[in-house]
Copies of this chain bind each other. A is one copy, B any other.
Amino acid sequence: MERLPGFRDFYPEPLPSHDAGWSFDARQYIFDKWRETARRYGFREYDGPPLESLELFTTKSGDEIVGQLYNFTDKGDRAVALRPEMTPTLARMVAAHERNYKKPIKWFAIPQLFRYERQQKGRLREHFQFNADLIGETDPAADAELIALLIDTLRAFGLTKEDFVLRLSSRNAWHEFYETGRDGVSPSQKTDEYDFFQTIDKLERTPPQESETKLAALGFSLADVTQFIESGKPTVELQSILDNLAARGLREFVKVDYHVIRGLAYYTGTVFEAFDAKGEFRAIAGGGRYNNLVKLISGGRVDLPALGFGMGDVVLLELLRARDLLPKFDATTDVYVLIEDEPLRAQSLKLTQNLRAAGYAVDYPLTPTKSDKQFKRAQELKVGYTARVESDDYVRIRNMKTREEVVAGFADVANHLG
């Protein structure tokens, strides 16, 4: 029986046959760094259900998203979907209990997310994502705090400014450009502005002639748009974020880049994406302000400004591997108890129990095993020490690195382990 296409098995350590290097070890390493950085920034972890009502996702993203979802009708006739993203769940949870929390709310999660796109052969249908959000503060200081978290998260993996860049942009800047450019042409319409944003979003992947035509239909010229992007002039809001980041010593990781506008309709202000500096990979992370979402999800009951970002495990792992920044994950067994004299097995089990109770990771041969095989096993497990019960009262301890041996009293073994 096979696993479903697009899903990953996480074996404890990388398999020789797994080029991609997926393993539980690597996954846990990434999760630990995410958690540790979030902790330093005062973000608290939450989680929601992996299955939600379909409506939660269509309310945010429109019915088009259904084509990309793992959605189905459950046995109670509910339209449900495996979560494709975390933000709608977060908005639902915050709206349900916002009065319990002082603002700003600083939360993060590490959900597994699911997408089903039929044509995407060979592409993953699930991934894990570090989601950090800051809710209840409109000031750009909040944007700076969240972006600083994103930068320091990548730095926690050993990535430097030679490895990645955060491209900072703003829907507000583009809105202003749109409003100004349309002066005297026609009254702006919301759908028009959305089309305009979509055209900007696709600019880098579209032939210039095509963009020119699309922009002309909206009352703009490609030359003006290109000039605006190339000026890279920060708005007052972006300048405030840049100054804030400069005070932290993080200015060099950020570049104003108005190419970034992000396709999702719901962003309302600052938007940003992190890329590897060489441009070899897809975006490492992306996010921005979504000041209207909590209101939308709560049916107007709760109105809170918010912003957040998501960072997936897949591109990040690829980048860390390419930059040789994944550590070697060694097994964590501390002691191997050698049992060479079967009458001493009971006493050896007692020693095993005592050392485990003292916090050591301990293994031993479950059944009678030849001495050399036991020693080989201890070496495979890369243990720091072996311990052999010599009598009810004494234990011979061997430091596997220094090869030094000592004989210790039975109750005294832990004192000889480093």
Contacts and interface: CB of A to CB of B under 8 A. Distances in A.
A15 interface: yes
A24 interface: yes
Given A42-B362, A247-B347, A49 B3 contact: yes
B11 A352 contact: no
Interface string A223-254: 00000000000000000000110111110000
17 contacts: A1-B55, A1-B56, A1-B92, A2-B92, A3-B49, A4-B52, A4-B78, A7-B48, A10-B46, A27-B47, A39-B332, A51-B70, A70-B74, A72-B74, A152-B356, A247-B346, A247-B350
Given A12-B44, A47-B24, A39 B361 contact: yes
In the A-B complex, list the 4 residue pairs whose CB atoms are closest, starting with the nearest: A7-B49, A72-B72, A247-B346, A12-B44
Nearest to A299: B1
Interface stretch (A99-107, A165-173, A317-325, A395-403): A99-107
Interface string A348-375: 0110110011011111001100000000
Best-buried of A56, A102, A248 by chain B (most CB within 10 Å): A248
B74 A116 contact: yes
A292 interface: no
A92 to B, nearest CB: 5
A180 to B, nearest CB: 29
A141 interface: yes
Interface residues of A, number: 97
A359 B139 CA distance: 26
Given A5-B76, A11-B46, 13 more contacts: A1-B53, A1-B92, A4-B53, A10-B48, A11-B97, A11-B100, A15-B97, A17-B97, A49-B126, A51-B70, A139-B366, A243-B346, A248-B353
Interface string A186-213: 0000000000000000000000000000
A362 B48 CA distance: 26
Contacts of A114: 51
Interface string A137-152: 1010110010010001
Interface in A60-83: 70, 72-76, 78, 80, 82
Given A100-B16, A349-B244, A361-B40, A45 B72 contact: no
Given A12-B107, A366-B141, A352 B248 contact: yes
B116 A350 contact: no
B145 A366 contact: yes
Nearest to A69: B75
Contacts of A247: 345-347, 349-350
A10 B49 CA distance: 9
Contacts of A404: none
A9 interface: yes
A165 to B, nearest CB: 19
Contacts of A104: 366
Kindly name the residue among A27, A49, A59 whose own CB sees the greatest number of chain B CB atoms within 10 A. A49
Nearest to A335: B42
A93 B39 contact: no
Contacts of A246: 346
Nearest to A136: B366
